[in-house]
Amino acid sequence: MTSATATAPAPQGVVNPHAVGTSLPHQVLLLARRSIRGALSSPAGYMPGIVMPLMLLTINSSAMQRSTSIPGFPADRFLDFIIVITFMQAALFATSSAGLGLVRDIESGFLDRLALTPMRAGALVVAQISGAIVIAMGASLLYVTIGLVTGVDFHAGFLGVLALLGLAAWTALAFATIGAWIALRSGESEALQGIFPLLFASLFLSTLNMPRELIQADWFAAITRVNPVSYMIDGMRSLIITGWVPRMLLEDVLVLVVITAIGVSGCARALRRRMAKA
Amino acid sequence: MTTSENNGIEVRGLVKQFKKGPKAVDGIDLDVAPGEIYGFLGPNGAGKSTTVNMLVTLLPITAGRATVAGWDVATQGADVRKAIGAALQAVALDNFLTGREHLRLIASLQGITGSRADARATDLLHRVGLEEAADRKVGGYSGGMKRRLDLALALVHEPRVLFLDEPTTGLDPQSRTALWEEVRRLAREDGVTVFLTTQYLEEADVLADRVGIIDRGVIVAEGTPAELKAEIGAPTVEVVPTSDSDRAALPAVLAQFGECLAAAQPGAVAVRLRGGSDRASLVTIVRAIDDGGLKIDEIRQHEPTLDDVFLAKTGRSLEGAGDDEATEGAPGAPGSGSASAATADDRDAEPVA
């Protein structure tokens, strides 16, 4: 039994022997399982995140094939160049899947229910983010398989594919922390829905469809230069169409470190404020 | 130590003030004895849920002190949470889980795993009458079934203090009676202390050992239901005269039996009977009216209720009192059922005073 502290004038309290709690990893496991089941139980929730990237892949790879004839274009097939869109979109959907799970718990009061257990406050957030990453990774594995089937040549080899999946997972983590931050801060699904178009726009205001060197409009090239999404795309894409390019991978990792740090610290602050318990 | 020794609630000068708002709870004091059922009665927006959310550590207190099961809610929140169970105003369930999965999840988070968790889930599902629906997703449950599951979740770890925030709101009479029985059993057989908020007079009257009546963040009356009604004194008699001329003459006749009041029923004249040995019976009053040559359509004796207590203490009737000022029950409002549905700013509210 925990003893009362000196600051408490109350007599020794009663602790229920049944309420012993459980370890943080076990809590995360329990809640992540619930998060994944929740996400997968609603096809309307996860199917767009899988189907939409494939649609964009199909449309872009056929519509923009002629871009490959531009001198200096770094790939022979536009499919090889654009397949990175699927990994990026899977990661972007992690923003909403992590955030919406939290918002649902906040709006339904289930967060309060969990807060009244010995659950560590961070366990739920980590679980929701983990669930979002697992879903994004499932989708990424599907996209790698589709790439292999359609003849995409992963220049960095088997290890490169593993590195690509690692970067895709980290990208999903980075975006999921942002989604969780917004969810905890606002407690409203509208705020999450509001951020998604911005993220989507940032995807297309990047080097997604054209290498920066070949972009003719200066303003667009400037935007791609300051848009962190460009560096994420370039890092992952380099493993597919070029091989191991340390500078691009390093830039990608640096961007991911910064976004993850911003997301995690935002989550921590928002969580502290929301779970302002004794 | 036996668990019944110290599972009471003690509150002194408890205050909650949200940013840009009045004091939702304004310096309340209360004591709940171990094993007691304490009814916290008041209209919407009175401060009931805000009080509960502070006592269960979901809302930080602005000022004052409260201990639950001997633990200070401001400094020993983790210990408070181990000792309590709570079914808050908004039923807090995950629509994608079944009833049994809910119980197993909460049991696991409480450290009850494996066959113990299964047995506990089965026992609680039986106790709240949800065995048949146990393996259905709760999204398909009725409001009453959700309420019952919510109560079961609050009981998973056998808490010594149970907080129920308007637990019977939306329940049909049968489910309400069943829940009352279960609450009584918990208090009588298991020695669980129950802090129950309600806006239903009957619920407080029938279920609570003692009642605290809260209005606009202040406790205006406290005692057993019988004590509170006794404070009001003798019953009221309402008389409906046949004609307007008789209505004008009636107060003079009735005044000999007590103090004339505004009647609840349109067209009636009311008198609160004097207490003690000279309290008039209905027969005496009818004879006096007859002797006065007055004719009446109806005469009715009205025993004091908790609503009369509320009326006497606040000048308003409890039923509907909160309708024009309610913020507490509004979704997302400070002190609403879901404490975490309040904005993060509300959570961060600092004492203003």
Q: Which of A13, A34, A186 sits opposite B71 (nearest CB)?
A: A13
Question: Are the beta carbons of A113 and B92 separated by less than 8 Å?
Answer: yes
Q: Determine the pLDDT at residue B125.
A: 95
Please provide the size of chain A in residues.
278
Instruction: Please write the tens of the pLDDT for every residue from A54-84.
Output: 998 999 888 888 889 999 999 989 999 999 9
Chain B hits for A115, Cβ within 8 Å: 58, 81, 340
Is the pLDDT assigned to residue B12 strictly greater than 90? yes
With CB atoms and an 8 Å threshold, state whether A273 touches B6: no
Q: Examine the domain organization and report whether B148 and B225 are in the same domain.
A: yes
Which residue ranges in chain A fall short of pLDDT 70? 1-21, 276-278
Asked if the model's pLDDT at residue B47 lies above 60, the reply is yes
CA-nearest residue to A107 within chain B is B341
- The beta strands (E) that lie in B61-207 are given as 63-68, 71-72, 84-87, 161-165, 193-198
- Average pLDDT value for residue range B157-183: 89
Least CB–CB distance from A116: residue in B81, B112, B337: B81
User: What is the reported pLDDT for B233?
Assistant: 67
Per-residue model confidence (pLDDT) at position B217: 93
pLDDT at A4: 35
Report pLDDT for A118: 85
B151 shares its domain with B293: no
Q: Which of B340, B346, B347, B348 to mutate to test the interface with A (most CBs of A within 10 A)?
A: B340
Looking at residue A122, what is its pLDDT? 86
Confidence of residue B65 (pLDDT cuts 50, 70, 90): very high
- CA angle at B218 for the pair B217 and B224, rounded to the nearest 5°: 125
Q: Are strands B71-72 and B210-215 parallel, antiparallel or unpaired?
A: unpaired
Give the residue, A7 or B129, on which the prediction is more confident. B129
Q: Which run of H or E residues covers position A73? A: none
Which pLDDT does position B234 carry in this prediction? 72
Same domain, B147 and B66: yes
Please tell me the predicted confidence (pLDDT) of residue A142: 94
**What's residue B261's pLDDT?**
76
Would you say residue B346 has pLDDT above 70? no
Q: Are residues B298 and B149 in the same domain?
A: no
Which of B57, B96, B341 lies at the smallest CB-CB distance from A38?
Answer: B96
**Whether B280 and B266 share a structural domain:** yes
Domain hosting B267: range is 234-303
Q: For chain B, what's the residue count? A: 353
Q: Are residues B179 and B294 in the same domain?
A: no
Nearest to B344 among A41, A274, A278 (CB): A274
Same domain, B195 and B64: yes
pLDDT of residue B4: 44
* Dihedral angle over CA of B296, B298, B299, B301, nearest 10: -170
Pick left, alpha or beta for residue B157 (phi over 0 → left; psi -120 to 50 → alpha; otherwise beta). Answer: alpha
pLDDT value for A19: 52
B208 in a structural domain: yes
How many Å separate Cα A199 from the centre of its chain? 11
Q: Are A97 and A132 in contact (CB under 8 A)?
A: yes
Cβ atoms of residues B207 and B166 within 8 Å:
no
A245–chain B nearest CA distance, Å: 44
* CB spacing of B347 vs A38 below 8 angstroms: no
The reported pLDDT for the residue numbered A1 is 33
Percent of the residues in chain B that have a pLDDT greater than 90, as a whole number? 44
Q: How far apart are CA A265 and CA A256, in angstroms?
A: 14
CB contact under 8 A, A4 and B71: yes
CB-count exposure of residue B93 (10 Å: 0-12, 13-18, 19+)? buried
Q: What is the pLDDT of residues A83-99, one digit of tens each?
A: 999 999 999 988 888 89
pLDDT at residue number A42: 75
| pLDDT at residue B313 tops 60 | yes
Q: What CATH number does residue B57 fall under?
A: 3.40.50.300
Question: How far does the CA of residue A114 sit from the closest CA of chain B (Å)?
Answer: 8
Q: Which of B196, B192, B207 is nearest to B83 (CA)?
A: B192
Same structural domain, B299 and B339: no
Same domain flag for B253 and B327: no
Q: What is the pLDDT of residue B235?
A: 79
Q: Are A78 and A41 in contact (CB under 8 A)?
A: no
Beta-carbon contacts of A11 under 8 Å, excluding residues fewer than 6 positions away, are: A4, B6, B70
Q: Which secondary-structure segment (H or E) carries B257?
A: none
A57, A77 contact by CB (below 8 A): no
Let me know: does A46 contact A135? Beta carbons within 8 Å: yes
CA distance B159 to chain A (A): 6
Whether B253 and B161 map to the same domain: the answer is: no
Domain residue limits, chain A? 24-271
pLDDT of residue B227: 85
The answer to whether residue B114 is domain-embedded is no
C-alpha–C-alpha distance, residues B143 and B179, integer Å: 13
Residue-wise pLDDT for B218-235, tens only, equals 999 899 988 887 776 677
B108 to A26: CB separation less than 8 angstroms, yes or no:
yes
> What is the rounded CA–CA span in Å between residue A275 and residue A121?
7
Contact A13 B113 (CB under 8 A): no
User: Do residue B63 and residue B146 come from a single domain?
Assistant: yes
Number of structural domains chain B divides into: 2
Looking at the partner chain, which of B67, B79, B86 has a beta carbon nearest the beta carbon of A116?
B86
CATH number for the domain harbouring residue B266: 3.30.70.100
Phi, psi of B70 (to 5 degrees): 90, -5
Instruction: Name the closest residue on chain B to residue A27, using Cα atoms.
Output: B109
Question: Are B267 and B320 members of one domain?
Answer: no
* Nearest beta carbon to residue A18 from set B5, B78, B110: B110
Task: Provide the Cα torsion B344, B347, B351, B352; round to 10°.
Answer: 40
Q: Which residues from A are below 8 Å from B167, CB to CB? A: none
pLDDT band at B237 (very low <50, low <70, confident <90, very high): confident
CB contact under 8 A, B57 and A278: yes
Between the CA of residue A35 and those of A116, B34, B135, B191, B281, what are the distances in Å? 19, 38, 18, 37, 67
Mean pLDDT of chain B: 84
Please list every residue in chain B whose beta carbon sits closer than 8 Å to the beta carbon of residue A16: 3, 82-83, 157-160
Q: For position A43, what pLDDT does the model report?
A: 80
Give CA–CA dist B262/A173, Å, rounded: 68
Share of chain B above pLDDT 70, in %: 87
> Using a CB-CB distance cutoff of 8 angstroms, which residues of chain A are in contact with residue B157?
16, 18-19
Please name the member of A16, A38, A114 whose beta carbon is closest to the beta carbon of B160: A16
Which one of B75, B88, B104, B110 would you mutate to disrupt binding with A, by most A Cβ within 10 Å of its Cβ? B110
* φ, ψ for residue A206, nearest 5 deg: -130, -165
Bridge partners of B302?
B236
Q: Which residues contact A157 (CB under 8 A, 6 or more apart)?
A: none
Chain B interface test: which of A116, A128, A271 (most B C-beta within 10 Å): A116
Please give, rounded to a whole number of angstroms, the shortest distance from the CA of B184 to a CA of chain A.
20
Nearest Cα neighbor of B59 from A13, A124, A115 is A115
SS3 assignment for A168-180: HHHHHHHHHHHHH
What's the rounded mean pLDDT across residues B162-167? 93
Contact B344 A185 (CB under 8 A): yes
Size of interface A-B (CB pairs under 8 A): 195
ipTM value for the complex: 0.77
**Partner-chain contact A277 B69, CB within 8 Å:** no
Structure-block tokens of residue A260? 């993850």
Tens of pLDDT, residues B249-279: 888 898 888 888 777 777 888 887 776 667 7
Contact of B261 with B270, CB cutoff 8 Å:
yes
* Amino acid type, A147: G
For residue B117, is it within any domain?
Answer: no
CB-CB: which of B92, B111, B160 is closest to A112? B92
Q: Across the interface, do A277 and B57 touch by the CB < 8 Å criterion? A: yes
B324 pLDDT above the threshold of 70: no
Higher pLDDT, A12 or B190: B190
